[in-house]
Amino acid sequence: MLFKWLDTTEVTQAGIALADDFNLRTASSRADPLCPGRDRTQGRELHSFLQKFLKQVDSVVHPLKLNAFKRAKLANSFKWRLLDKGVKAELADDLTQALVMRLMAADTVTAAAGGVSSSTGRRNAVREAQALHLAASEQIDKGAFAEARESYQQLVNLDPRDATARNGLGIALSQLARYAEAEGEFRHAIGIRPGHPEVHYNLAQVLLSTGRFNESEVPLRRALKLKPSYVDARISLGTTCLLLRRLPEARECYEKALRAAPRDTRAMVGMGQIASLEGKFADAEAAFRRALEIDPRESFAWAALVSLRKQTPADADWVKRAEEIADGGLNRVDEAMLRFAIGKYYDDVGDFAQAFRSYRRANELHKLCAEPYDRQGYTRFIDAVISARTPEAIASARATGSDSERPVFVLGMPRSGTSLVEQIIASHPAAHGAGEIDFWQTVVRRNAADFWKSLPGEPERRKLARDYLEILTGHSANALRVVDKTPINANYLGIIHTTFPKAPIIFVQRDPIDTCLSCYFQQFPPALNWSMDLGDLAHYYRESQRVAAHWHRVLPPGTVLDVPYEELVSDQEKWTRRIIEFIGLSWDDRCVDFHKTTRAVITASNWQVRQELYMSSVGRWRHYEKFIGPLRSLADLTP
C-alpha cells in the first residue's frame, strides 16, 4: 500500500524556489562564504549577503505557517536543489543549516521545547527536533524504514503530542509490516490533529492491508471531506467500494478521479478491474492498455492483462516486457504483483520450472509486506475454538436462534472451489451470491474479550441476526437464499450456527496439495500471511481441516453438506442437484449453465467461473512435484 506524508507540495516548491533564486555566482565567488577566519571587509560583505538571503527566506516562508515536518521538507528540497545546481556539498550544508536556524527562530515556542525554561534550552530542543525530522524524512525517502522508525520514535519521546512525528512513525511501521502498531500511531495522530487528511488516508491503507475493507471506508471519507480534491483518497475509496462489491460506487470514484486527473493510470486500472469483475474482459483490456499508453511501465496494468485469459506462446512479447519491468527497480509491492503474473504466464504455457521460480520470488517479496505467520498462535486459537464450542453449548444456544433460512454459508480453503459453488447457486433465479462478507469476523474482533467465555446470549444473537439479515437485504432485497462465501467463517460457526440454526452450510473439499499450491500462486492481501510460505500453508491447511472436523462432530446431522471439488467437476449435474436440493430450492437448469450467469465476481476466480467446467486443475500439483517440499506431507489428507 502507498502511504502519504502530510501534504508538502507547497513547501517543497518553496524550497526549490529559494534554491533557484539563490545568487549562485555571487556565492561561488566567495570561498566558503559562511565559514569564519576572513578579513573584516569580507566579513561585512558576507554578513550583507547572508542578511539578504535570510530576508528572502522570511518573505517566502513566513506565509506558509510551517510545522516541524514541513520545515524539514522545505530544507531538504532546498539542499537537494542546490546540489543539483552544482553547489558544493559543504556550502549546501552550511546554507541549509542557516535556513533551518532561521525557520526555527520563527517558532521559538514549540511543543518540543515545552517545559524548557531558558531561551537557550528552547533553541536546543527545537534544533534537536528539527534535525530528527530532517533525518527521518530523508530515511523514509531512501527506504531506510527501520532507521526512520527510530528517528520518529525519538521525536515522539521528545513530544508525545507531535502528530507529524506519529504520522511518520506510522508510515515507517507500516512499511515494516507492523500494522497493529502503525494503526495505533495513525489513530493517535488523528486524536491530536484530526484535520490532516493524509493521516486518515494512511489509516485506511493499514485497514486495507489487514483485510478490514469495511472499516477503511470511514477514514477515506473523512479524508475527502477535509480535502475534496484528494485524488489518492478518491482512488483508494474506489478500491474499497470495489472490494465491498459496490461496483457502481467504485466506478463513480474512479470517474471523479479521472475528471480531476485525466491521466491518472491508477484510476484507469480501477475502471479496468471493474470491467474484469463484471466479465467484460474486452473492456478491461482496453482500459489497461489506455493506462499503458500513458505509462508503459505501469506494472499493475501490465500484470492485469494476464488475468483476462489463458496465455499462449504467442504472448512471448508480453513476458519479455514484463520481466524487463520487474527487473527495473520497482518497489517490492509492484514487483511481487508482476512476478505473480509472470508465474501465471509460464504456468499457462507449460514451463513449470520457470513458473515456480517466478511464484517463489513473488512470495518472497510479498512476505516482506506481511506480519509473520504465527503457527503456534494459530494452533492455540483452533484449540480454543474446539474447547469452547462443545456439543452441549451449541445445542443449548441454538434452541433460541433465528428461524431464517435465507443465509447460505459456503466454506472451505481459498482456491478450493468455493467461488464455483457460489456461482452455481447464484445462477438460480431465487438465489444471490454476496461474495465474502466480513460481518462475523468483525463481530468476533470487537468482542474478543468475551468470545471464549461463552456464546452470546439470546438478546445478543437476536441483534446479530437482525443486523446480518439487513446486510443480506442490502445485497439482494428479494432472493430467498443469499450466499456468504467468506472462508474465515469456518472459525466462527459456533456463533453463526446458534444465530441461524436453519442456515445450510456447505464445505467444499479439494485435493489439499492442489488447494495449497493454488493459494501459493495467488497474491492475497497481506492479512493472509499463511499463504506466502509452503510450510506455513501446510500448517494452516491442517488446522483448517481440524476445525472443520470439529464442526462435523458438533453440529446436528443434515446441517453440513460436503462437496468434493473433483467429483463436482467430473459429475456436474449430480452434484449441482444435490447442492440446490440441500439449500431448499427447486431445480433450475440455469444452475448447470452457471458460466453464462452475468454477475460481478469479486474473487481471484472471476475468470474461471465464467468458463465451462474443466478438469485441468485436478492433480495440477504433479507438474510441480519436485518443488513443493512441505506440501507433500498433506498427501495423507487427500479425500
DSSP 484: E
Position 40 pLDDT exceeds 60? no
Supply φ then ψ for residue 560, to 5 degrees.
-120, 135
- CA separation, residue 48 to residues 36, 40, 42, 54, 178 (Å): 15, 12, 10, 10, 51
Contact 613, 521 (CB under 8 A): no
Q: How confident is the model at residue 28 (pLDDT cuts 50, 70, 90)?
A: very low
The C-alpha cell at 602 is: 469479486
Ordered DSSP codes for 342-366? HHHHHHHHT-HHHHHHHHHHHHHHH
Q: What are 291-323's pLDDT values in tens digits?
A: 999 999 999 999 999 999 999 999 999 999 999
* Length of the chain measured in residues: 639
Grid cell in block for residue 576: 449441482
* Cβ burial, residue 195 (10 Å; 0-12/13-18/19+): exposed
> Of 139, 131, 129, which is closest to residue 161 (Cα–Cα)?
129
SS3 66: coil
- pLDDT score of 8 more than 90: no
Residue 24 is predicted with a pLDDT of 47
Question: Please, which pLDDT band fits residue 14 given cuts at 50, 70 and 90?
Answer: confident
Question: How many angstroms separate the Cα of 311 from the Cα of each of 319, 329, 343, 344, 501?
Answer: 10, 25, 11, 8, 45
Displacement of CA 413 from its chain's centroid (Å):
20
All structural domains of the chain, each given as residue ranges with its CATH number in brackets, are 1-209 (1.25.40.10), 375-637 (3.40.50.300)
Encode pLDDT of 408-457 as tens digits: 999 999 999 999 999 999 999 999 999 999 899 988 888 776 776 788 88
Backbone Cα Rg of the chain: 29
Return the pLDDT at 61: 63
pLDDT at res. 65 = 61
* 623 Rama sector, left if φ>0, alpha if ψ -120 to 50, beta otherwise: alpha
For residue 551, what is the DSSP state? H
pTM score, whole prediction: 0.77
Angle at 10 between CA 4 and CA 14, to 5 degrees: 130
H or E stretch at 432: strand 431-433
- Average pLDDT score, the chain: 85
pLDDT grade for 63, boundaries at 50, 70 and 90: low
Provide the pLDDT confidence category of residue 238 given band limits of 50, 70 and 90. Answer: very high
pLDDT of 614 > 60? The answer is no
Confidence at residue 499, expressed as pLDDT on a 0 to 100 scale:
96
Q: What is the mean pLDDT of residues 460-478?
A: 94
What pLDDT is attached to residue 198?
Answer: 93
SS (H, E, C) 605-629: CCCHHHCCCCCCCCCHHHHHCCCCH
**DSSP label at 456?**
P
Q: Is 51 helix (H, G, I), strand (E, B) or coil?
A: helix
Helices (H), 62-144: 68-84, 89-105, 119-142
